[in-house]
Chains A and B, each alone.
Chain A
Amino acid sequence: MGVDLRDIVPREDIEFSRLHGKILSVDALNALYQFLAIIRQQGGEVLKDSKGRTTSHLSGLFYRTVNLVELGIRPLYIYDGRPPEQKLATLRGRKKHKDTAQQRAVRAKVEGRTEDYAKYASQSLTFTTEMLAESKDLLALMGIPFFDAPAEGEAQAAHLCATDPRIYAVASQDYDALLFGAPLLARNVTISGRRKLPGRSVYREVSPELLDLSFVLGELGITREQLVEVALLVGTDYNDGVKGLGPKKALEAVRSGTFDDYGVDPSLRDLFLAPAVSDSVRYAFSLPDASELRRFLCTEHDFSKMRVERAVERLTKGMEGLLRQETLDQWF
């Protein structure tokens, strides 16, 4: 979810080649939700293995990560920990929404309304503990590191990007990473080149884009604190925002110094400016465990043997090229 700042933040369309050789800290849940929503069989059902377990997220995580590594990009996946108290209300709201969508999906399926089924089914997505654990098992076999954040994954990803010189940018679809202080945010990295528009069977091409926090702030003529205020007025994961106030009006309000007039709890700012993050993140990339990877995907989860075989080869080759010499400048 996250805050919608699309209308006001400048961005730069880039080619994937711009990210070659870079390490990105990826908001894992953000990516996994995209996979679960996008990767569907005909008729809108999620992919499942023969034991009935959902595999859409594994399929997306596997093939997309292979593509990234082949492009010379190394993802470090950051998982959510315990959400801050203020997010619980939002999460309860989402849960309720999902339950309703789930009921509607069931009805649509019974009544044979495929389009509606797909719509409601994608709205009712949830991740079980098992699904998350499986995604981590998969990453471990692929030689791709992941880290469990103490709280918000996106905040941890942003903190890493700001403090670890090896991390080039945060990869997420949400703009929240900017609020959390990520110097660079890369969008459209973990999704495929084609994206379905919500509610319609229409696809549009998506290419990666880069958002530079200091450039964004310079263009808007505000500080990061003020950008957080804009977000709080629009509405974030932690608050509902002010009714009738979109990003443009909120920006005007913050610029004219009237943030305090809207009655938004100013203490919410610290959730973005000083979130709970860990400073002891260690990670390393390694070659994939090819035979275990084949077993996990093909034997355990019924993936296509031929497709997996080719992807494992691409992953191994890509990673071999990337496991390399570091430089000293990070210790200067």
Chain B
Amino acid sequence: MIEVSVSDSRALKAILESISEIVDEAAFIFEEHGFCIEGADPSIISKVDVSLSDAFFESYHVDSAVEFGVDMTSLDKIAKRILPQDTVTLISRDRENMLEVVLNGGIERKFDAALIELNNNLPKISLDFPATMVVETEAFRNCVRDLAVIGGSVVFDVFPERIVMTSTGELGTATVTIQRDNPAVLDLKVAAPCSAKYNLSYLMSFLKAGQISECITISLGDRDFPLKLEFSMMHGSLVFYLAPMEY
């Protein structure tokens, strides 16, 4: 039996909504001291890892570790009904093939979401990224929106002293240059200059979770290397991985 609840539900809502943008089915893993969500889109172009410690929740009861599959399309519909004042409680009873989602902001609403069979476990991705930057979420999100005006993909050129993002399309080219000393850049570590291309629409989906933290950590590599985008919170993190596009 598990029963966990969180009264400030905005972060949870943002997390669930953003991952259901890319993931159809996700693994919910409740462990003794923390809760994880793992999933990938059907083509395995992107992957998401959510990790929330028990401290993220007001109450956290997990009798024994349990893992089950959740249909994110239906959970997304429930998540959309989470109101700012709601306390969210997730309940799963042994031998009941159901995830109970209780929303309570004065009037209690209870949803039963059927669990699903998961095909396979997704392996972890562990990579040493040659370039890592920490930037303000809102500033970065605006840059990505600027680039999306022109094209469907973005080339990152990351140097020790600046980040250049370029998007090319039928209309022409959009270039965004962020200098290292810009106040929006909190950190920039570049072991070697990197250049890599990624799909903008995936990045836009990831950034829908933007409100959960004021800054994001973006890691990438040269050419054929995935991108990692991490939102850190007080008691957890939301990490997206994105496969590169060929040059």
Interface residues of A, Cβ cutoff 8 Å to B: 282, 284-286, 323-329, 331-332
Inter-subunit contact B45/A286 (CB<8 Å): no
Task: Give the contacting residue for B244; candidates A282, A285, A326, A329; CB below 8 A.
Answer: A326
- Residue of B whose beta carbon sits closest to that of A326: B243
The interface residues of chain B lying within 8 Å CB-to-CB of A285 are: 246-247
The interface residues of chain A lying within 8 Å CB-to-CB of B127 are: 331
Q: Number of B residues whose C-beta is below 8 Å from A?
A: 22
Inter-subunit contact A324/B44 (CB<8 Å): no
Inter-subunit contact B246/A327 (CB<8 Å): no
The interface residues of chain B lying within 8 Å CB-to-CB of A325 are: 43, 45, 199, 243, 245-246
Q: Is the interface of B mostly helix, strand, loop or mixed?
A: loop
Q: Decide if B122 is an interface residue (CB 8 Å cutoff).
A: yes
Per the bound structure, the CA–CA distance linking A326 and B241 in Å amounts to 12
Cβ proximity bits B40-64 to A, threshold 8 Å, 1 near / 0 not = 1001111100000000000000000
Query: Assuming A284-B223, A284-B224, is B246 touching A328 (CB within 8 A)?
Result: no
Task: Give the contacting residue for A324; candidates B123, B224, B226, B245; CB below 8 A.
Answer: B245
The interface residues of chain B lying within 8 Å CB-to-CB of A331 are: 125, 127, 226, 241, 243
Inter-subunit contact A328/B45 (CB<8 Å): yes
Task: Give the contacting residue for B247; candidates A284, A327, A328, A332; CB below 8 A.
Answer: A284
The interface residues of chain A lying within 8 Å CB-to-CB of B247 are: 284-286, 323
Inter-subunit contact A327/B44 (CB<8 Å): yes
- Residue of B whose beta carbon sits closest to that of A286: B247
What 6 A-B pairs come out closest when comparing CB atoms? A332-B123, A328-B243, A326-B243, A327-B44, A284-B247, A329-B44
- 14 additional contacts (CB under 8 A) given A285-B247, A329-B44, A331-B241: A282-B223, A282-B224, A284-B223, A284-B224, A284-B247, A326-B224, A326-B243, A326-B246, A327-B44, A327-B243, A328-B243, A331-B125, A331-B127, A332-B124
Please name 14 pairs of A and B residues whose Cβ atoms are closer than 8 Å in the assembled complex, sorted by A: A284-B247, A323-B247, A326-B45, A326-B243, A326-B245, A326-B246, A327-B44, A327-B45, A328-B40, A328-B226, A331-B127, A331-B226, A332-B122, A332-B125
Inter-subunit contact A328/B125 (CB<8 Å): yes
Query: Assuming A328-B44, A331-B127, is B246 touching A323 (CB within 8 A)?
Result: yes
Per the bound structure, the CA–CA distance linking A326 and B127 in Å amounts to 17
The interface residues of chain A lying within 8 Å CB-to-CB of B44 are: 327-329
**In the complex, what's the smallest C-beta–C-beta distance from B129 to chain A, in angstroms?**
11
Per the bound structure, the CA–CA distance linking A328 and B246 in Å amounts to 13
Per the bound structure, the CA–CA distance linking A324 and B45 in Å amounts to 11
Per the bound structure, the CA–CA distance linking A309 and B140 in Å amounts to 43
The interface residues of chain A lying within 8 Å CB-to-CB of B124 are: 332
The interface residues of chain B lying within 8 Å CB-to-CB of A323 are: 245-247
Per the bound structure, the CA–CA distance linking A329 and B124 in Å amounts to 10
Interface residues of B in 106-159 (CB under 8 A from A): 122-125, 127
**In the complex, what's the smallest C-beta–C-beta distance from B125 to chain A, in angstroms?**
5
The interface residues of chain B lying within 8 Å CB-to-CB of A328 are: 40, 44-47, 125, 226, 241-243
Interface residues of B in 212-240 (CB under 8 A from A): 223-224, 226
Cβ proximity bits B12-45 to A, threshold 8 Å, 1 near / 0 not = 0000000000000000000000000000100111
Q: Which residue of A285, A324, A331 has the most chain B CB atoms within 10 A of its CB atom?
A: A331
Inter-subunit contact B43/A284 (CB<8 Å): no
Q: Which residue of B47, B122, B127, B224 has the most chain A CB atoms within 10 A of its CB atom?
A: B224
- Residue of A whose beta carbon sits closest to that of B244: A326
Per the bound structure, the CA–CA distance linking A256 and B243 in Å amounts to 50
- Residue of B whose beta carbon sits closest to that of A327: B44
- Residue of B whose beta carbon sits closest to that of A322: B246
**In the complex, what's the smallest C-beta–C-beta distance from A163 to chain B, in angstroms?**
14
The interface residues of chain A lying within 8 Å CB-to-CB of B40 are: 328
Inter-subunit contact B43/A327 (CB<8 Å): yes
Inter-subunit contact B246/A324 (CB<8 Å): yes
The interface residues of chain B lying within 8 Å CB-to-CB of A324 are: 245-246
Q: Which residue of A285, A323, A326 has the most chain B CB atoms within 10 A of its CB atom?
A: A326
The interface residues of chain B lying within 8 Å CB-to-CB of A327 are: 43-45, 243
Per the bound structure, the CA–CA distance linking A325 and B244 in Å amounts to 6
Per the bound structure, the CA–CA distance linking A327 and B122 in Å amounts to 13
**In the complex, what's the smallest C-beta–C-beta distance from B207 to chain A, in angstroms?**
18
Per the bound structure, the CA–CA distance linking A284 and B123 in Å amounts to 26
Q: Which residue of B122, B124, B241, B243 has the most chain A CB atoms within 10 A of its CB atom?
A: B243
**In the complex, what's the smallest C-beta–C-beta distance from A14 to chain B, in angstroms?**
24
- Residue of B whose beta carbon sits closest to that of A329: B44
Per the bound structure, the CA–CA distance linking A329 and B47 in Å amounts to 10
The interface residues of chain B lying within 8 Å CB-to-CB of A284 are: 223-224, 246-247
Per the bound structure, the CA–CA distance linking A236 and B243 in Å amounts to 42
- Residue of A whose beta carbon sits closest to that of B47: A328
The interface residues of chain A lying within 8 Å CB-to-CB of B223 are: 282, 284
- Residue of B whose beta carbon sits closest to that of A74: B246
